[in-house]
Amino acid sequence: MDYLNNVLFGIYPYIALAVFVLGSLIRYDRDQYSWKTGSSQMLESKMLRKGSMPFHVGIIAVLAGHFVGLLTPHQVWDFLHVTAPMKQVFAMAMGGFFGLVCFYGLTILIIRRFTNDRVKASSSTMDNLILVLIYIQLIMGLISIFVSTGHMDGAEMLKLMSWAQNLVTFQGSDAAAAMADVHIIFKLHILLGMSLFLIFPFSRLVHVWSVPVKYFRRNYQIVRVKNDRNVRKG
């Protein structure tokens, strides 16, 4: 069991993250024209509008919360006089709220994907798989909130923080050790999360890299003015 725990939580995360980064770079280099979400808005727009906004707002907030909560060193929280129980209550409240917002939006999108004939016909197996996996991941995250009520001292949360922070400092063995006696729901949640990173480059999820950053720093364009041979920069 120690060996399996070490593989799953001390080695597998590095494999998943390596595929995530390298796969994204290779796909961008070789297949830029598929770097999009492949919107089905023209096929059905009402449910898409209703579900898309809460889904995206919820999932961005949840991911940001995970990133800050897991990777902020405990010394920072000590400096801010935030105890582990206080941090856990805050994480449960905010995670629960935005998790439910995301759940509401994703439920609408899944119903739309599998009940609208036109949308269903235009969806690939990978499209459907990604939605279902994110849905399962979200449900496990919400369930973990109820599990957390059984240990309000924040001890379990500190183990998860230790796992994440040991990973980013390349201490895989210590990371795996931190996960040894963590509740099974957290283990499954982490494993599915790593698996989503693993398949990320092979799915439409790559469209998250398409945030129009260049819009704020656009290159000059050559514009031809009607009835005028002069060329100007716009």
Pick left, alpha or beta for residue 5 (phi over 0 → left; psi -120 to 50 → alpha; otherwise beta): alpha
- Domains assigned to the chain: 2-233 (1.20.950.20)
Contacts of 87 (CB under 8 A, 6+ apart): 69, 77, 154, 157
* pLDDT tens by residue, 190-205: 999 999 999 999 888 8
Helix (H) or strand (E) holding 231: strand 231-233
* pLDDT tens by residue, 54-76: 999 999 999 999 999 999 998 99
pTM for this predicted structure: 0.84
* pLDDT tens by residue, 103-146: 999 999 999 999 988 888 888 898 899 999 999 999 999 999 99
Nearest of 112, 97, 122 to residue 38 by alpha carbon: 122
